[in-house]
Amino acid sequence: MVTEKCIKGKFLGNMDENLRLLLEDIYFILRELGYSYQSQIIRKLIFYVKTNNLNDFRKLKESSIIWGGAGSIADISIKDYETQQKLSDLLDKLKAKMSKI
């Protein structure tokens, strides 16, 4: 989509709003389940989207805390199947969006 591009270190079009909403959904799940450190990482990403800080967003999006191994957001295992599926779906969408940034 044309609206999902970045130019000169800034988010463009609807991407920032869609990305922010996706990140907020992930944040609320993590916070509700007591993953305070991981939820704060997502909160930083939300802040970077809101403040149009593409450079810091890019640095953090590549960090191992999101996609790495043990302790990463992608590695979180939730006992409740529906919540685990929702988080997994949101992370899949996030990964797809982040690949365009």
pTM reported for the whole predicted model: 0.84
What does the pLDDT look like over 2-22, one tens digit per residue? 344 555 556 655 568 889 999
Angstrom distances, CA of residue 18 to CA of 53, 65, 98: 16, 22, 12
Domain ranges in the chain are 13-95
Tell me 62's DSSP state: T
Decide: 72 and 18 in contact? Cβ < 8 Å.
no
Report the mean per-residue pLDDT for the chain. 86
Q: What is the DSSP string of 69-98?
A: STTSGGG---SSHHHHHHHHHHHHHHHHHH
pLDDT of residue 22: 96
pLDDT of residue 7: 53
Angstrom distances, CA of residue 85 to CA of 5, 26, 29, 47: 28, 12, 11, 26
pLDDT at 87 over 90: yes
